Amino acid sequence: MNIKGLLFGSAKAQVKQLGVYKNSTQEWLPISAITDDIIVTKDGRYVKIIEILPVNFYLKSYMEQQSIIMSFAQYLKIAPDNLQICVRTQKADINAYEKRMWEYYDKEQNERCKEMIADNIDMVRYLAVNEAVTHRFFIVIQLEEGMKTRSNKIADISARLYEEAQNARKYLDFCGLESIEWGNPDAAVIGLLYDILNKGSAASSTYSSSLSEMPAEVYECEGSLEE
């Protein structure tokens, strides 16, 4: 099973698709492939996503704030024309914290301390439902006419966008912003898009755990994206 094809459809030049459900996600989602750390859209664009860890600007000194502003302004001068800054907001995931607190509860001998732990869990649950949210920040760049590549091969396009991403990371590092190097970029992008498309179910399950609930379709890979 080709998970990328199953979730997002397939580029015609890369994958021969044997069947697509009418009015399915594959049919309307504007993504044809996710490969070599980039997204290929159905209208022929090549897109790369960079995740950034934020810093609290207002906790910086005046001089640090001015340095951040100047460094970011310098990056904008050489950044791609089509640059997007996206924020993913979702309810906080407290499962790991709650599990750890219940472990403390089971080991605690003092009944009053156990009551305090239980009260803390209830309070965290309330905050998670009503107030607590987490944020993920992303910079999205795409291949443009001015970006020269060795060829139209997907590997060369990916390499060119990687250079742009490294350039962005360098300037953002001057701003005190750390970028995340995904261990498996394609899987990370698929998971991110799955979370966006499935806001309700993604809070309790990942795309990989939901895969078993999807109908099994067969995809045959052939050719390349050079066409």
Nearest C-alpha neighbor of 60 from the set 137, 175, 173, 172: 175
User: Is 220 a residue whose pLDDT tops 50?
Assistant: no
pLDDT band at 131 (very low <50, low <70, confident <90, very high): low
Beta bridge partners of 135: 89
User: Is 18 a residue whose pLDDT tops 50?
Assistant: no
Tens digit of each residue's pLDDT (9 = 90 or more) over 166-198: 999 999 999 989 998 888 888 888 888 888 877
Report helix angle 111-130 to 95-107, nearest 10: 170
User: Is 200 a residue whose pLDDT tops 70?
Assistant: no
Q: In the prediction, which pLDDT does 14 show? A: 42
Question: What are the structure tokens assigned to 95, written together?
Answer: 């499962």
3-state DSSP assignment of residue 124: helix
Q: In the prediction, which pLDDT does 21 show? A: 65
Instruction: List the chain domain ranges.
Output: 3-88+137-221, 93-131
Are the CB atoms for 131 and 111 separated by under 8 Å? no
Over residues 7-33, mean pLDDT: 60
Element (H, E) at 191: helix 185-197
Euclidean distance between the first and the last CA atom of the chain, given in angstroms as a whole number: 24
Residue 10, burial from CB neighbour count under 10 angstroms (0-12, 13-18, 19+):
buried
